[in-house]
A = this chain, B = another copy of it.
Amino acid sequence: MVRKRLIVVGGDAAGMSAASQLRRLDREREIVVFEKGPHTSYAACGIPYYVAGLIEKPEQLIARTPDTFREKYDIDARTLQEVTAVDCRGRTVQVRDHRNDRSYGMEFDDLLIATGALPFTPDVPGIEAEGVFGVNTLESGIALERFLQEKRPRRAVVVGGGYIGLEIAEALNCHRAVNVTLIERAPQVMGTLDPDMGALVGEAIRDVGIDLRLGETLKAVETSSDRVRAIVTDKGEIETDLIVLGLGVRPNTALAEEAGLALGVRNAIRVDDRMATPTEGVWAAGDCAETFHLVSRQPFHVALGTVANKMGRVAGVNLAGGEARFPGVVGTAVSKICRYEVARTGLLEAEAAKLGLDYSTATIKTRTRAGYYPGAGRIHVKLLAENGTGRLLGGQIVGVEGAAKRIDVIATCLHGKMTVQELVDMDLSYAPPFSPVWDPVQVAARALLKEV
């Protein structure tokens, strides 16, 4: 009997989740994974903490090595093997073996594309200089950490004020004693927050000593003997020993596009809620795939490990002939910047307005614990709900320890299509070390109740 073969393109969160899940349900299937980099299944979200020096060895970020996959799961995970072409009709892939500098083809019965995302790199002079780093792969994180060890830079410029930029700025500023300048083209950091909440994050960043420059655009990198010396922006020059790019990512779908697969939002691969593409036997999952936004009810793209893992699991179940669906996301994200915590879920004001929704908001400031309990710190909660129905549309939180994970209550309400009134009435946990009598999320809901 010939074993049916699944080929997985990409050996990180989505690809390896799918492969492992399939193996759990189907002991017979042949599973081959091609990963163009040297590592499989690593925690990309952990890279800023490795750069911070909070994690000793990069291996700690690797959940499972190719050897583990081979020996424990009978999954043929091949690193430094790049899939360069896919022929959906002929059911074959072309592979470039970077280890042995050769190419070969392989046939598949099923194909799962899990090629992840690519970082944006600004097309400016000097961007290839020594001392300019990205942080999207484990290799790039290792290279940056080595640079920090060896060159002991005093000054760094981080380009981009989204999650990755902020986390790297934290790592360098709060943990490696590097003087950090953060430049962001937009008038606020954290474009995934409303401007008022983004402004709170901006304050928090300045509060920890980061030199934040908003509305400033990278124009060139100045070098001296091929090494970074300064950056030039539209507002001037900033001397620096190190530049880290944290400009966000886009779906890595050139291969899929060349193979003729349909692309959707942000050029992510179009899939249904089973992770199947419209092309028979071809699947996609993770940062390269489109998903669905359960509040806006529209196709959506997000590049997050937690979503990639869920998509991978669903793909694996369906590849095994089972029945699993990934209904979509509500846009939840969380981040830590030194002692500050930032979280968001659902729609921004701008997004709600664009959808033509009639909405109100309320923003409150209270404490993370009972006011009299030691360590009670500040927390700001903003809620968004539809007028009339009272249906919750989104929430944002900025605060200190214990603040951010409260976003999960709002996310759960969004999944349950619950109202502001229901949130006010909710039996959330209370004890002085954990919360004021009215949880901050409910304080915000009470304020919003008066508006909707």
- Point out residues on A near B: beta carbons under 8 Å: 13, 43, 45-46, 49, 54-55, 60-61, 294, 304-307, 309-310, 326-336, 341, 343, 345, 370-374, 402, 404-409, 411-413, 415-416, 418, 422, 425-435, 437-439
Minimum CB–CB distance from A373 to chain B (whole Å) comes to 6
Minimum CB–CB distance from A107 to chain B (whole Å) comes to 33
CA distance A333 to B335 in the complex (A): 27
Contact of A404 among B45, B408, B429 (CB under 8 A): B429
Instruction: Determine whether the beta carbon of A431 is less than 8 Å from that of B335.
Output: yes
Contacting residues, chain B, for A406 (C-beta < 8 A): 405, 408
Q: Assess A306 versus B438: contact at CB under 8 Å? Given A372-B60, A429-B333.
A: yes
Minimum CB–CB distance from A22 to chain B (whole Å) comes to 16
Minimum CB–CB distance from A78 to chain B (whole Å) comes to 24
Contacting residues, chain B, for A305 (C-beta < 8 A): 430, 437
Instruction: Determine whether the beta carbon of A334 is less than 8 Å from that of B434.
Output: yes
Q: Assess A428 versus B46: contact at CB under 8 Å? Given A60-B372, A409-B409.
A: no
What are 13 inter-chain pairs, A to B, with CB distance below 8 A? Answer: A43-B370, A43-B372, A45-B437, A46-B370, A46-B432, A55-B373, A306-B438, A343-B429, A405-B405, A409-B412, A411-B426, A411-B427, A411-B429
Instruction: Determine whether the beta carbon of A415 is less than 8 Å from that of B430.
Output: no
Of all chain B residues, which has the CB nearest A418?
A: B416
Contacting residues, chain B, for A438 (C-beta < 8 A): 306, 309
For A45, A327, A330, A372, the residue with the greatest tally of chain B CB atoms inside 10 Å of its CB is: A372
Minimum CB–CB distance from A284 to chain B (whole Å) comes to 18
Q: Assess A46 versus B373: contact at CB under 8 Å? Given A405-B405, A430-B334.
A: yes
Q: Assess A434 versus B415: contact at CB under 8 Å? Given A330-B427, A331-B427.
A: no
User: Can you add 5 more A-B contacts, CB < 8 Å, to A307-B427, A405-B435?
Assistant: A54-B374, A305-B430, A306-B437, A335-B431, A415-B427
Contacting residues, chain B, for A430 (C-beta < 8 A): 45, 304-306, 334
CA distance A433 to B334 in the complex (A): 10
CA distance A412 to B334 in the complex (A): 19
For A305, A307, A336, A430, the residue with the greatest tally of chain B CB atoms inside 10 Å of its CB is: A430
Instruction: Determine whether the beta carbon of B425 is less than 8 Å from that of A405.
Output: no
Minimum CB–CB distance from A83 to chain B (whole Å) comes to 25
